[in-house]
Amino acid sequence: MGKEHSIELRNVTKTYKRDEFTIPVLTDLDLVVPEGEFLALMGPSGSGKTTLLNLIAGLDNATQGSVIVHGQDLGGMSDGEITRWRSENVGFIFQLYNLIPVLTAFENVELPLLLTNLSKRKRRDNVMTALRAVGLEGREDHYPRQLSGGQEQRVAIARAIVTDPFLLVADEPTGDLDRKSAEEILSLLQQLNKGFNKTIVMVTHDPEAAQRASRLLHLDKGKLVHDEVRNNLEEGVASS
Amino acid sequence: MKFLHYVLRNARRSPVRSLLTIGAMSMCLALMMILISFLSVNDAVASSLRTYNRLVVMSSQGFAQPVPFARVNEIAGMKGVKHTTTFAWFGGKYHDEPMPFAQFGVSADSIFSIYDEFTISPDQVKAFADDKMGCVIGRKLAEERNIKIGDPLPLKGDIYPLDLNLTVRGVYDGPGTRDLRMCFFHWDFLNEELKRVSKNSKMTDNAGVVVVKCDSADRMVPLSKEIDNLYLNSATPTRTQTEEAFNQMFAEMFGDLRGMIRTIGLAVVMSLIFVSGNAMAMALRERTTEIAVLKAMGFQRPLVVNLVLTEAILVAFIGGLIGALGTKAFFDVVDLSKHSGGFLPFFFVPWPTAILGLGASLVIGFFSGIFPALAAARLSVINGLRKVV
Residues of B at the A interface, defined by Cβ within 8 angstroms: 2-3, 5-6, 9-10, 12-13, 289-290, 293-301, 303, 381-382, 385, 387-389
CA pair distance A182, B96, nearest whole angstrom: 87
Interface contact A171, partner B, CB < 8 A: yes
CA pair distance A37, A59, nearest whole angstrom: 20
Say if the Cβ atoms of A83 and B387 lie within 8 Å. no
At residue B172, φ and ψ (nearest 5 deg) are -100, 155
Handedness of CA B32, B35, B41, B46 (dihedral sign): negative
Using the predicted structure, report yes or no on whether residue A2 has a pLDDT greater than 80.
no
Instruction: Work out the pLDDT band at B66, boundaries 50, 70, 90.
Output: confident
Minimal-distance CA residue of chain B relative to A203: B389
Using left for φ > 0, alpha for ψ between -120 and 50, and beta otherwise, residue B79 falls in beta
With contacts defined as CB-CB under 8 Å, which chain B residues touch A171? Answer: 388-389
The pLDDT value given to residue A183: 93
The residue among A45, A93, A114 with the most chain B CBs within 10 A of its CB, best to mutate, is A114
What average pLDDT does range B290-312 have in this prediction?
Answer: 94
CA pair distance B102, B148, nearest whole angstrom: 18
* DSSP at B344: -
Minimal-distance CA residue of chain B relative to A96: B388
Using the predicted structure, report yes or no on whether residue B22 has a pLDDT greater than 50.
yes
CA pair distance A210, A182, nearest whole angstrom: 12
Number of H helices, E strands in chain B: 15, 10
Identity of the highest mean pLDDT range in B56-60, B272-276, B282-286: B56-60
CA pair distance B99, B90, nearest whole angstrom: 9
CA pair distance A74, A172, nearest whole angstrom: 24
What average pLDDT does range A124-144 have in this prediction?
Answer: 95
The residue among B297, B303, B305 with the most chain A CBs within 10 A of its CB, best to mutate, is B297
Say if the Cβ atoms of B295 and A115 lie within 8 Å. no
Q: Nearest 10 degrees: CA dihedral of A131, A137, A138, A141?
A: 0
pLDDT tens per residue, range A186-226: 999 999 999 999 999 999 999 999 999 999 999 999 999 98
The residue among B1, B287, B306, B388 with the most chain A CBs within 10 A of its CB, best to mutate, is B388
pLDDT tens per residue, range A40-59: 999 999 899 999 999 999 99
The pLDDT value given to residue B249: 81
Nearest-5° Cα angle at A88, A85 to A91 = 105
The packing angle between helices B4-11 and B301-320, to 10°, is 60
CA pair distance A74, A68, nearest whole angstrom: 6
With contacts defined as CB-CB under 8 Å, which chain B residues touch A159? Answer: 297
Say if the Cβ atoms of A171 and B289 lie within 8 Å. no
CA pair distance B348, B366, nearest whole angstrom: 28
Say if the Cβ atoms of B389 and A87 lie within 8 Å. no
CA pair distance B149, B132, nearest whole angstrom: 15
With contacts defined as CB-CB under 8 Å, which chain A residues touch B10? Answer: 102
Three-state SS letters, A27-40: EEEEEEEECCCEEE
With contacts defined as CB-CB under 8 Å, which chain B residues touch A107? Answer: 5-6, 9
Amino acid letter, A25: V
The pLDDT value given to residue B341: 59
Q: Nearest 10 degrees: CA dihedral of B303, B378, A96, A195?
A: 60
Average per-residue pLDDT in chain B? 90
Using the predicted structure, report yes or no on whether residue B326 has a pLDDT greater than 70.
yes
Q: CA of B367, closest CA in chain A: separation in Å?
A: 25
- State percent of chain B over pLDDT 90: 61
Using the predicted structure, report yes or no on whether residue A112 has a pLDDT greater than 70.
yes
Nearest-5° Cα angle at B342, B340 to B348 = 55
Contacts of B40 (CB under 8 A, 6+ apart): B350, B352, B353
Say if the Cβ atoms of A94 and B2 lie within 8 Å. no
Extents of the domains making up chain A = 5-100+160-239
CA distances from A67 to A2, A12, A62, A64, B301 (A): 14, 7, 7, 9, 23
pLDDT tens per residue, range A3-34: 456 899 999 999 988 888 889 999 999 999 99
Amino acid letter, B309: L
What's CA B297's distance to the chain center, in Å?
Answer: 54
At residue A229, φ and ψ (nearest 5 deg) are -90, 130
Q: CA of A58, closest CA in chain B: separation in Å?
A: 9
The pLDDT value given to residue B337: 74
Identity of the highest mean pLDDT range in A157-161, A231-235, B196-200: A157-161
Q: CA of A191, closest CA in chain B: separation in Å?
A: 22
The pLDDT value given to residue A4: 57
Q: CA of B286, closest CA in chain A: separation in Å?
A: 12
With contacts defined as CB-CB under 8 Å, which chain B residues touch A103? Answer: 6, 9
For A92-131, the DSSP string reads EE-TT----TTS-HHHHHHGGGGGS---HHHHHHHHHHHH
Instruction: Tell me which of A111-120, A230-239, B111-120 is least confident.
Output: A230-239
* Chain pair A-B, CB pairs under 8 angstroms: 77
Q: What residues does B186 pair with on adjacent strands?
A: B106
The residue among A49, A92, A162 with the most chain B CBs within 10 A of its CB, best to mutate, is A92
Alpha helices, H only, chain A: 49-57, 79-89, 105-110, 120-133, 149-161, 179-195, 207-210, 233-239
CA distances from A26 to A63, A197, B323, B364 (A): 9, 28, 57, 47
Minimal-distance CA residue of chain A relative to B295: A83
Residue A149's Cβ-side half-sphere holds a number of Cα atoms within 13 Å equal to 14
Say if the Cβ atoms of A114 and B3 lie within 8 Å. yes
Picking from B329, B309, B280, B315, the residue whose alpha carbon sits closest to that of residue B370 is B309
CA pair distance B345, B148, nearest whole angstrom: 20
The CATH architecture assigned to A5-100+160-239 reads 3-Layer(aba) Sandwich (3.40)
CA pair distance B377, B369, nearest whole angstrom: 12
The pLDDT value given to residue A231: 64
Picking from A183, A112, A59, the residue whose alpha carbon sits closest to that of residue B388 is A59
Nearest-5° Cα angle at B169, B163 to B174 = 105
Say if the Cβ atoms of B293 and A92 lie within 8 Å. yes
With contacts defined as CB-CB under 8 Å, which chain A residues touch B385? Answer: 59, 94, 98
pLDDT tens per residue, range B26-38: 999 999 898 888 8
Nearest-5° Cα angle at B27, B21 to B270 = 70
The pLDDT value given to residue B347: 84
Say if the Cβ atoms of A50 and B297 lie within 8 Å. no
Instruction: Tell me which of A110-124, A189-203, B247-261, B268-282 is least confident.
Output: B247-261
CA pair distance B389, B383, nearest whole angstrom: 10
Say if the Cβ atoms of A111 and B6 lie within 8 Å. yes
Contact B373, B277 (CB under 8 A): no
Picking from A186, A194, A192, A204, the residue whose alpha carbon sits closest to that of residue A165 is A192
ipTM of the complex: 0.90
Minimal-distance CA residue of chain B relative to A61: B382
Say if the Cβ atoms of A107 and B13 lie within 8 Å. no
pLDDT tens per residue, range B155-184: 999 888 999 999 999 999 998 888 899 999
